């Protein structure tokens, strides 16, 4: 029987499009105002790809950045996991496309659909597969090109005003024997009873025809209950992971949350009585990048002067499904 081996975040990477989109530009496409966007969401800017670009154009540079930080090459990767809500094609998986672009060879490659909690779910999978010896080096990618899924009508503007594009990458490897660095715990959860808080009906086989125009291809969000459910489970999973590890929030050096909008983050910070200075936030600058938000925020922190070896980091996410989760990582 194989013994448990803890897992390291060996490298992180991120990629953002070059084109910045201000609120002033956003309101030219939708029936809204700059004041409304800023007061309701706290978003001031987001980045969108050019029309000729696709998701691969963000995921591949993010992957290379993470591998470089880890001191590894594509030849070292023996498993690829991708989480996205905006793949280049409906099928095959985005992971298969990225596998070919990176030249990974015939290693297993698959997509997961944990929405904005994709990084936490992917860490849960990768950590357990490495710990049991099934894999040695897992490349985990989360990315979105949400600008190509925006509904600028009155029905979709409540979410579209938030959306940005981006990609993040994490390389997971086995920790050396006796290493102080590694995951302390990971929790992942879901409750499908709340799927209609944020969902996309089509294309899907629940419609009379798979590509029925009546099966709307755009996100639909029920804002007020979504806000309440997100805040409730953001805070609850933070308390849960701390309790089962005998920790207090005062023991945490850095909190890295998914970036849904600034108002949700402010409410979570208030309920947890967090020091805002400990919380990594970038939603005002980058918007809501769905599954890319967490890994981009993690990577920007890891590549910045704010990162210090020995810090205890709490990552927390919430997404449609509903899905949510948290991870404790000791750098």
Residues classed as catalytic: 116
Residue with tokens 């490495």: 130
| Residue 72 CB coordination number (10 Å) | 17
Burial of 312 (0-12, 13-18, 19+ CB in 10 A): middle
- Give, in degrees to the nearest 5, the angle at Cα 196 between 25 and 95: 70
What is the distance, to the nearest Å, from the Cα of residue 246 to the centroid of all Cα atoms in its chain?
A: 27
In order of 66, 172, 226, the CA distances from 123 in angstroms are: 15, 8, 25
- Show the tokens assigned to 141: 């990618």
Among 164, 264, 159, 161, which Cα is nearest to 220's?
A: 159
C-alpha 153/C-alpha 163 separation (Å) is 14
Q: Which residues have a Cβ under 8 Å from the Cβ of 16 and sit 6 or more positions away? A: 47, 58, 165, 166, 286, 296
| Residue 222 CB coordination number (10 Å) | 14
C-alpha 25/C-alpha 122 separation (Å) is 35
């Amino acid at each position: 029987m194989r013994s448990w081996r803890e897992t390291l975040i060996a490298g992180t990477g991120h990629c953002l499009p070059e084109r910045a989109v201000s609120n002033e530009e956003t309101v030219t496409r939708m029936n809204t105002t700059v004041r409304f966007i800023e007061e309701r969401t706290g978003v001031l800017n987001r980045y969108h790809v050019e029309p000729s670009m696709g998701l691969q154009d963000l995921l591949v540079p993010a992957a290379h950045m993470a591998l470089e930080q880890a001191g590894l090459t594509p030849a070292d990767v023996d498993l690829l996991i991708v989480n996205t809500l905006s793949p280049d094609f409906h099928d095959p998986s985005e992971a298969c496309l990225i596998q070919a672009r990176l030249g990974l060879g015939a290693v297993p490659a698959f997509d997961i659909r944990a929405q904005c909690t994709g990084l936490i779910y992917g860490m849960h999978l990768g950590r357990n597969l490495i710990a049991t010896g099934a894999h040695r080096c897992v490349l985990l990618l989360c990315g979105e090109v949400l600008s190509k899924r925006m509904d600028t009508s009155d029905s979709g503007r409540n979410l579209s005003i938030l959306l940005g594009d981006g990609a993040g990458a994490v390389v997971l490897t086995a920790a050396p024997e006796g290493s102080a660095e590694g995951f302390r715990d990971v929790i992942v959860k879901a409750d499908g009873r709340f799927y209609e808080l944020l969902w996309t009906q089509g294309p899907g086989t629940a419609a009379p025809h798979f590509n029925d125009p009546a099966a709307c291809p755009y996100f639909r969000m029920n804002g007020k209950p979504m806000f309440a459910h997100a805040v409730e489970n953001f805070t609850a999973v933070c308390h849960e992971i701390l309790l089962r590890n005998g920790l207090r929030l005062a023991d945490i050096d850095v909190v890295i949350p998914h970036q849904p909008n600034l108002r949700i983050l402010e409410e979570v910070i208030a309920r947890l009585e967090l020091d805002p200075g400990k919380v990594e936030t970038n939603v005002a600058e980058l918007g809501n990048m769905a599954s890319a938000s967490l890994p981009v925020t993690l990577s920007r922190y890891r590549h910045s002067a704010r990162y210090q070896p020995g810090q205890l980091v709490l990552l927390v996410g919430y997404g449609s499904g509903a899905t949510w989760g948290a991870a404790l990582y000791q750098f």
